[in-house]
Amino acid sequence: MYEYDFFDILARIILGSGKDSILLIILNILAIIGYWGILQKCGVKGWWALVPVARDIKLGEAAARKREGLVIGILHAVQLLLVFITPLLVDPSIPPEEQPVALTDILELLVFLIWFIYSIRLYLGLIELFGKKKRWLILWIFAEFIPACLWGWCKKDKPLWTVEEVRSAATNYFSNARVTVLENGLTVNLEERTIRELFKKKYLLRDIHLTIQPGHMVLLLGGSGAGKTTFLNAVNGYEKAKAEIMLNGRNMYTNYNEMQHDIGFVPQQDLMRGSDTVFRTLMDAANMRLPADFTKADRQARVETVLEIFGLSSHKNSEVSKLSGGQRKRLSIAMEFISNPTLFILDEPDSGLDGVMARELFTQLRRIADQGKIIIVITHTPDRVIDMFDDVIVLAKDTGETGRLAFFGSVEESRAFFGKENMEEIVKSVNSKSEGGDGLADDYILKMAEVQHA
């Protein structure tokens, strides 16, 4: 009969391990003893090492790998759950070697693979924490109890930072540089954008203050997870933050219903029906976005004007599915331009376009900006069209993984600020080392906060 000994299950719960071998349990106990010492050295109560799931989260915080620690903790919780579920799905009348592959077996394999990937990332964080060579990763993978005990209890091995220092790095860099509201233009005074995660308040964005003049085309840069989309959603009112977003002196949040058509948002993926014609697509947009007092003739006239502006007049009767990639992009922008908005926001409008088509598209955007519009663009290939932009916003994750303002200013000022010629090099400088970057986000966030505070 397939059964678990009470003490085996108890050991699994305490250790957060699914291992049956007594030897492996002993080695896990040694690892926990080592983690106790590591946590103490990092300013965390050592007894957290005894608490499954919480142990992983605390180690992640200590190694400045909070996300990795959280994922590993969740996976350990799933492992513990499988310990209790698996015996219930086993048919005791069938010999163990003849048991069919269960869904729990597949899930356990998947959990292991994800756990292995995130554990490597956490181990690399611990290696960085103690200033060791990356070759220590081999020991962490195959015998974690050895580096855990050595680093946890050898006096000569000291962490380069404590958890309190990580937290201070994440919370003390505030400019409090509230900007004066522009009578004409965009004003952003964003204090914070938060969500609830595991019953705790998690900061997505903090301390972003800037103004954009009419007629400016702005490049929004930042690595993965830096908060670019969250920032744009906060600006356009789709996801409200604790912020004052003013467009031409009017509050976007308190006047959202009246002002929502004054902002054009073009997502990365268009939402057009392929079977409709270009003209029908724009007429539908006109019916939705233009004021109710516009007559049918007025709407048609506006559509004809927009078709001319975006060079789509010769394609007005073509089906959307027959358009080229560049034409579809221009059409998706034209749909938002129908209502003649003051602010345009575009998320990777050049995605999937070659260099020639991308430049043609950005040339069109530049013409729109020159009409006194404000345009904010996310693009992952900025250097091929950087001459089209006036300003640059750089967002970066601080040590606490909160999106912060690392720079705002002209293109030339950004090059001087970062000491980099290319925009892609600027992004690399603020990306974390685990993402292939230089890991200088906190340095530039602090530098920008000091500039704004001055």
The amino acid occupying position 395 is L
Does 194 score more than 50 pLDDT? Answer: yes
With b for 16 or more beta-carbon neighbours within 10 A and e for fewer, the 13-31 pattern comes to eebbbbeeeeeebebbebb
User: What span, in angstroms and rounded, lies between the C-alpha atoms of 36 and 337?
Assistant: 60
Describe the crossing of helices 441-453 and 411-418 by its angle, rounded to 10 degrees. 120
Does 18 score more than 50 pLDDT? Answer: no
Q: Averaged over 41-48, what is the pLDDT? A: 91
Question: Do 149 and 142 form a contact (C-beta atoms < 8 A)?
Answer: no
pLDDT for res 350: 81
Name the residue among 192, 234, 246, 186 with its Cα closest to residue 212: 186
Name the residue among 225, 209, 232, 129 with its Cα closest to residue 445: 209
Describe the crossing of helices 278-289 and 296-309 by its angle, rounded to 10 degrees. 120
How does pLDDT run across 229-253, given as a tens digit for each residue?
Answer: 999 999 988 889 999 999 999 999 9
How does pLDDT run across 384-393, given as a tens digit for each residue?
Answer: 999 999 999 9
Whole-angstrom CA distances from 284 to 216, 300, 303, 312, 327 are 29, 11, 10, 16, 18
Tell me what the pLDDT averaged over the chain comes to.
84
- Percent of the chain having pLDDT more than 90? 36
Instruction: Quickly state the pLDDT bin for 355 (edges 50, 70, 90).
Output: confident
How does pLDDT run across 167-189, given as a tens digit for each residue?
Answer: 655 455 666 678 899 999 999 99
How does pLDDT run across 139-150, given as a tens digit for each residue?
Answer: 998 888 999 999
pLDDT for res 9: 45
Alpha-helical runs (H) found in 130-227:
136-142, 145-153, 163-171
User: What span, in angstroms and rounded, lies between the C-alpha atoms of 295 and 290?
Assistant: 10
Residues in the chain: 454
User: What span, in angstroms and rounded, lies between the C-alpha atoms of 67 and 432?
Assistant: 13
pLDDT for res 1: 29
- Percent of the chain having pLDDT more than 70? 87
Name the residue among 40, 275, 280, 79 with its Cα closest to residue 163: 40
Residue 86, classified by CB atoms within 10 Å of its CB into exposed (0-12), middle (13-18) or buried (19+), is middle
pLDDT for res 102: 57
User: What span, in angstroms and rounded, lies between the C-alpha atoms of 246 and 235?
Assistant: 9
Residue 363, classified by CB atoms within 10 Å of its CB into exposed (0-12), middle (13-18) or buried (19+), is exposed
How does pLDDT run across 403-432, given as a tens digit for each residue?
Answer: 999 999 999 999 999 999 999 999 999 998
Question: Do 281 and 237 form a contact (C-beta atoms < 8 A)?
Answer: no
171-453 belongs to CATH 3.30.450.20: no
pLDDT for res 411: 95
How does pLDDT run across 335-348, given as a tens digit for each residue?
Answer: 888 888 899 998 88
Does 264 score more than 90 pLDDT? Answer: no
Name 219's bridge partners.
377, 392
The 8-class DSSP code of residue 389 comes to -
Does 64 score more than 90 pLDDT? Answer: no
Higher-confidence residue: 163 or 160?
Answer: 160
In angstroms, how far is the first alpha carbon of the chain from the final one? 74
Residue 304, classified by CB atoms within 10 Å of its CB into exposed (0-12), middle (13-18) or buried (19+), is middle
> How do the domains of the chain map onto residue ranges?
6-162, 171-453
User: What span, in angstroms and rounded, lies between the C-alpha atoms of 294 and 276?
Assistant: 23
